[in-house]
Chains A and B, each alone.
Chain A
Amino acid sequence: MTELDESAAKDSLDAESDAALAARCNRGESAAWTILVQRYQRLVYTIVRRIELDDHAAADVFQTVFSRLLTHLPQLNQADRLQAWIVTTAKREALLQRSRGLRTVSLTADDDEGVASAAYDVADDSPLPDEQLATLQSQNQVRNALERMDERCRTLLTLLYHDADDAVAYDEVARRLDMPLGSVGPTRARCLGKLRKLLEA
């Protein structure tokens, strides 16, 4: 397979739903697993760090979440709710790790039955209430969609929305993208439209 073929295959997988990727994983397609990890690595890492674990504990929980996901994929009845499963598992694993204050995570065979195990009955006193988790999920969807956009739109939106305190002025955006100043606004609107379509897909 040439590099172009591989890139096209990756783009194709990138566009697939969680449910489709989970089905591919269950058929033994390792590339689908790679896409799932890439799709959710930021979200899991952000959740874990918001629980304020140290580097070692954060690394342990990160690995545990994906290890459990891989184990659970064949048993997930609602693959379209994969994101919710990942978020719930990440939060509960992180809280469990914090409550234990240990660097190792032990999983009994019984724990593999689901996230509702008694081992996860940890008081939810985290700085991550459901509303914030929902916001993080939306942001992760937007970020993944942004990465699937063509380079020009991705660059324009990144420059315009990179940081409210460090926003790049329209004239600078026009200069960097070599476009007329008057085109920045309409192009921004078109790119947001493209982003919306990717999010709807």
Chain B
Amino acid sequence: MNKSPASLDDDALGDAVRGALKLVDAPAPLVAAAVSLWATQAAAAPAATLTGAVGAAVRKVRAALTFDSWATTPGALGLRSAGLSRQTRHLMFSADGRDIDLRIVSAANSYVLAGQILGPEERGSVEISVDTSIDRDGPPPQSVELDDLGSFELEAMRAGTYWMTLRFAGDVVELPPIDIGNH
């Protein structure tokens, strides 16, 4: 069926409909994450411009989730765990030689996001921005430097879906969207 489908007769077009109906939707979290790329790019635009001005040697690395203490099944797609009441969530991501260890702790009416980069000893920073396609009135993006132990902490975070980017001298590591809190 390599003719344009518009040129098919009824029987052939019916067969094309049958084939079309067999196409499976991508999982909703994947589609949502792809849609949210727009907001991530918009939030990162100033930093990206700066990176480009400094040099073209910066690599973009995409981190993959390797552990979620709230996941019901290993390897589950998406990070949403709304409805669970446990106080602390532990997430681990892996990205080309670095492990990113995150802990989300419920504190009164907000959350604390603490993390540590495990891997080569290096300076860097963490940028986090709310997914504006989901929450248009969310807080502004935040940025914090890693300390000598590669750790960082962000307090008084409100529930929401966030994008996190780690910036090092040679790499930019992008994490999948992270849901904080029950929202």
Write the residues of chain A forming the contact surface with B, with a CB cutoff of 8 angstroms: 30, 33-34, 37-38, 41-46, 49, 54-56, 59-60, 62-64, 66-67, 70-71, 103-110, 131, 134-136, 138-143, 145-146, 157-158, 160-164, 188-189, 192, 195-196, 199-200
Q: Is the CB of A42 within 8 A of B34?
A: no
CB-contact partner of A139 in B16, B33, B59, under 8 A: B16
Q: B82 in the interface, Cβ–Cβ < 8 Å?
A: no
Q: How far is the CA of A44 from the CA of B27 in the complex (A)?
A: 12
CB-contact partner of A104 in B22, B25, B95, under 8 A: B95
CB distance from B116 to the nearest CB of A (A): 19
Q: Is the CB of B13 within 8 A of A34?
A: no
A-B contact pairs, 21 of them (CB 8 A): A30-B39, A34-B35, A43-B23, A46-B24, A59-B27, A59-B77, A60-B64, A63-B62, A67-B37, A104-B95, A138-B4, A138-B5, A138-B19, A140-B20, A141-B5, A142-B19, A143-B20, A161-B18, A163-B21, A164-B18, A196-B13
Task: Considering the complex, give the chain A residue whose CB is closest to the CB of B132.
Answer: A30
Write the residues of chain B forming the contact surface with A, with a CB cutoff of 8 angstroms: 1-2, 4-6, 8, 10, 13-27, 30-31, 33-35, 37-39, 41, 56-66, 75, 77, 94-96, 133, 176
Taking chain B's interface residues, is the majority helix, strand, or loop, or is none over half, making it mixed?
mixed
Residue numbers in B under 8 Å from A70 (CB-CB): 37-38, 41
Task: Considering the complex, give the chain A residue whose CB is closest to the CB of B23.
Answer: A42
CB-contact partner of A199 in B6, B57, B59, under 8 A: B6
Q: How far is the CA of A80 from the CA of B160 in the complex (A)?
A: 37
Q: Is the CB of B20 within 8 A of A192?
A: no
CB distance from B54 to the nearest CB of A (A): 11
CB-contact partner of A63 in B5, B30, B41, B56, under 8 A: B30
Q: Is the CB of A192 within 8 A of B57?
A: no
Q: Is the CB of A45 within 8 A of B25?
A: yes
Q: Is the CB of A104 within 8 A of B63?
A: yes
Q: Is the CB of A104 within 8 A of B18?
A: no
Q: How far is the CA of A62 from the CA of B92 in the complex (A)?
A: 21
CB-contact partner of A30 in B19, B61, B133, under 8 A: B133
Q: How far is the CA of A143 from the CA of B24 in the complex (A)?
A: 10
Q: Is the CB of B56 within 8 A of A192?
A: no
Q: Is the CB of A161 within 8 A of B21?
A: yes
CB distance from A180 to the nearest CB of B (A): 20
Most buried by A among B19, B23, B64: B23
Residue numbers in A under 8 Å from B39 (CB-CB): 30
Q: Is the CB of A109 within 8 A of B57?
A: yes
Task: Considering the complex, give the chain A residue whose CB is closest to the CB of B3.
Answer: A138
Q: Is the CB of B38 within 8 A of A33?
A: yes
| Further 7 A-B residue pairs, CB within 8 A, beyond A46-B23, A59-B176, A139-B22 | A41-B30, A70-B41, A103-B64, A139-B16, A161-B17, A163-B18, A192-B13
Q: Is the CB of A199 within 8 A of B30?
A: no
What 4 A-B pairs are tightest by C-beta distance, nearest first? A45-B26, A199-B6, A143-B20, A142-B20
CB distance from A36 to the nearest CB of B (A): 9
Q: Is the CB of B60 within 8 A of A107?
A: yes
Q: How far is the CA of A45 from the CA of B19 in the complex (A)?
A: 15
Most buried by A among B19, B24, B39, B96: B19
Q: Is the CB of A139 within 8 A of B19?
A: yes
Q: How far is the CA of A39 from the CA of B4 in the complex (A)?
A: 18
Task: Considering the complex, give the chain B residue whose CB is closest to the CB of A193.
Answer: B10
CB-contact partner of B62 in A33, A105, A140, under 8 A: A105
CB-contact partner of B34 in A37, A105, A139, A164, under 8 A: A37
